[in-house]
Amino acid sequence: MEMTNAKSVLPNEARLATAQLNPPEVPAAVVGLGLMGTSMIVCLLAAGHPVIGLSRNVDRHRDVPDHIRALLEEMQREGLLDKDVDSIVKQFRISADFSDLVDRAIVFESIVENLAVKREAISRIEATVSNETVIGSNTSSIPVALLQEGAAHPDRILGIHWGEPAHVSRFLEVICGPQTDSFYAEYVVKLAELWAKEPTYVKRDIRGFITNRLMYALMREAFYLVEAGYATCSDVDRSFRNDLGYWATFAGPFRFMDLTGIPAYAKVMEDLLPELNCGKSVPELMKRMVESGAQGIRNAKGFYEYTPEEAARWEKLFLKFSYEIRALAAKYPADVGNTRVTSSLEVK
């Protein structure tokens, strides 16, 4: 790849000018073929990258190529893909051998959310790939700083946080750890635009990045309301869907305050913030759910009861909705009016 060495003294702009931004020339790999790994592969293949999916157990993932094909065909039916699915699928193969990553320009780690296991995978990736390969972790909440500790090339390690379904969602967060060379983060942001993403560049590492910090603050309060007997899970879900849920694809919290009048929020904050839940441990209800073996739709056991058929229907509906909300959001782009943040609020 035409990327200049990490120790380059050239400004990022000059390095980006020569960086390879043509997906077919940027061989990629995804380590971990679970829920997210699979949809990330679909996104990368659709964008034109040749992709290797690395699995510890190829036998267990025999059905992955068929699943990938089905998702690509669906993308085509939904109008998100105009390339030939047969030729795209040929650009994918599964391997159990880390040495197959030798020619990869970008490698995404998407295995279990466990620091030790992720570090081990990253060191195996580093041992094989070239000095120019970008290594992105799809961690949900592990700070990039911790993933960089003990790494051979921390400057090329960054957080690349995807959202499910990764081949449909416009969401992507690119996170610089303290040792990341910002050139690689800027490079991934540019590449992500070719994956039909609207990437967010998180310049300073923080556990949970942006969306997970927001989402978990909300989930903590949701558990509190249920555990303290104020409402049921379905009450919480109904309120959420019909209030925050309806505007969240149109506006973020700051735009929403602009739209609905700022001073009232300050007044409510004064009274409400001291009463919000600030618990620091996993809610008891959540612990009981996990101990009972509930995994949600995956095993038809969750906060709601499902027959296997109902669980399959929810999974299908979620994907259908993802396509529809994406199409709706496209009619109301983020820059419909402007994206200029009031200048005194810009992060330097």
Binding region for ligand NAD (CB under 6 A): 31-37, 55-56, 110-113, 117, 121, 138-140, 162-164
In whole angstroms, the minimum distance from the beta carbon of 284 to ligand NAD comes to 22
Segment holding 221, helix H or strand E = helix 211-227
Of residues 24 and 245, the one with the C-beta less far from ligand NAD: 245
In a 13 Å sphere around the CA of 85, the CA atoms on its Cβ side amount to 17
Amino acid letter for position 69:
R
Q: 271 phi and psi, to 5 degrees?
A: -85, -35
Angle between helices 64-77 and 35-47 (to 10 degrees): 50
Of residues 1 and 31, the one with the C-beta less far from ligand NAD: 31
Residue in the block written with tokens 């509906």: 317
Residue 172, SS3 per DSSP = strand
In whole angstroms, the minimum distance from the beta carbon of 232 to ligand NAD comes to 24
Q: What distance in Å separates the CA atoms of residue 259 and residue 255, rounded to the nearest whole number?
A: 6
Return the bridge partners of 176, or none.
158
Beta strands in 233-275 (DSSP E): none
In whole angstroms, the minimum distance from the beta carbon of 121 to ligand NAD comes to 5
In whole angstroms, the minimum distance from the beta carbon of 166 to ligand NAD comes to 8
Print the SS3 string covering 268-310.
Answer: HHHHHHHHCCCCCCCCHHHHHHHHCCCCEHHHCECCCECCHHH
In whole angstroms, the minimum distance from the beta carbon of 25 to ligand NAD comes to 26
Q: What distance in Å separates the CA atoms of residue 42 and residue 319, rounded to the nearest whole number?
A: 14
Of residues 1 and 107, the one with the C-beta less far from ligand NAD: 107
Q: What distance in Å separates the CA atoms of residue 191 and residue 189, rounded to the nearest whole number?
A: 5
| Structure-token pair, residue 322 | 């993802």
In whole angstroms, the minimum distance from the beta carbon of 62 to ligand NAD comes to 13
Q: Are 101 and 29 spatial neighbours (Cβ–Cβ below 8 Å)? A: yes
Of residues 33 and 175, the one with the C-beta less far from ligand NAD: 33
Of residues 198 and 258, the one with the C-beta less far from ligand NAD: 198
Of residues 115 and 278, the one with the C-beta less far from ligand NAD: 115
**Residue showing the smallest CB distance to ligand NAD in the complex:** 34
In whole angstroms, the minimum distance from the beta carbon of 338 to ligand NAD comes to 30
Of residues 66 and 113, the one with the C-beta less far from ligand NAD: 113
Segment holding 93, helix H or strand E = strand 92-95
In whole angstroms, the minimum distance from the beta carbon of 137 to ligand NAD comes to 8
Of residues 14 and 96, the one with the C-beta less far from ligand NAD: 96
